Amino acid sequence: MSEDERQSMEEIYQRHAQAVFRYLCSLTHDADIAEELTQETFYQAILHPERFDGSCKIRTWLCAIAKNQLAVYRRKHPQIQDWETADIPETSAMSAESEILDQLARVDLLKKLHDCPEPFREVMYLRIFGNCSFREIGDVMGKTENWARVTYYRGKEKLGKELKNDERRNEQK
């Protein structure tokens, strides 16, 4: 690898590593595994730069590699069966009461997101945590940009209805 190529990969890593890591965290709920898979993702990108054909954004290509690396990891670690029921990592304790209430609402939202069926869940993870555009989501999922947009908004509507239903139930108690 030439000096220019090495610098280019370093720039790509600096620009996109955090997004890839967040995406993997949203799927695994384990920062250590997400970090390991992020590193493997960039290792694969460095090994096979010719596989990037320019038909999508680099971040989309990296997220697709990350998704494939997660599948490989799951095959190698069958004892980790149910990623969707894994505990969401606790965040540090908040000092203000309003921040605690906000955090509880966020955890409720994340639980609802986990209950969403595929493909809604993955599309929403890519959009919310991966900061991916609808075009990038479509590329990662092997679908169109419009499919990603419609799927995201349908999932968002479904989550909104479920949260409103929960609020009504809580008010009735």
Q: Residues near 12 by Cβ (< 8 Å), separated by ≥ 6?
A: 45, 58, 62
Q: Contact at 8 Å (CB) between 27 and 130?
A: no
The Cα angle at residue 64 between residues 63 and 67, in degrees rounded to 5:
85
Predicted confidence at residue 136, as pLDDT, reads: 87
Tokens, residue 129: 């945590």
Residue 112, pLDDT score? 77
In the chain, what is the greatest distance between 2 CA atoms, to the nearest angstrom? 67
Measured CA to CA, the distance from residue 148 to residue 128 in angstroms comes to 13
Cα 8 off chain centre by: 25
List, in order of start, the domains of the chain with CATH numbers. 1-81 (1.10.1740.10), 97-173 (1.10.10.10)
Q: Output the tens digit of pLDDT for each of the chain's 173 residues.
A: 544 555 587 888 888 888 898 888 888 888 888 899 999 999 888 888 888 888 888 888 898 899 889 988 888 877 665 444 444 444 443 345 455 545 556 676 777 777 888 888 888 888 877 778 888 888 888 999 899 889 988 888 887 787 777 777 767 76
**Residue 149 Cα distances to 31, 53, 86, 125, 157, angstroms:** 28, 24, 28, 13, 12
CB 148 within 8 A of CB 141: yes
What is the pLDDT at residue 92? 40
Q: Given its phi and psi angles, is residue 105 left (phi above 0), alpha (psi -120 to 50 degrees) or beta?
A: alpha
- Residue 109: how many CA atoms within 13 Å on its side-chain side? 13
What pLDDT, on a 0 to 100 scale, did the predictor assign at position 37?
93
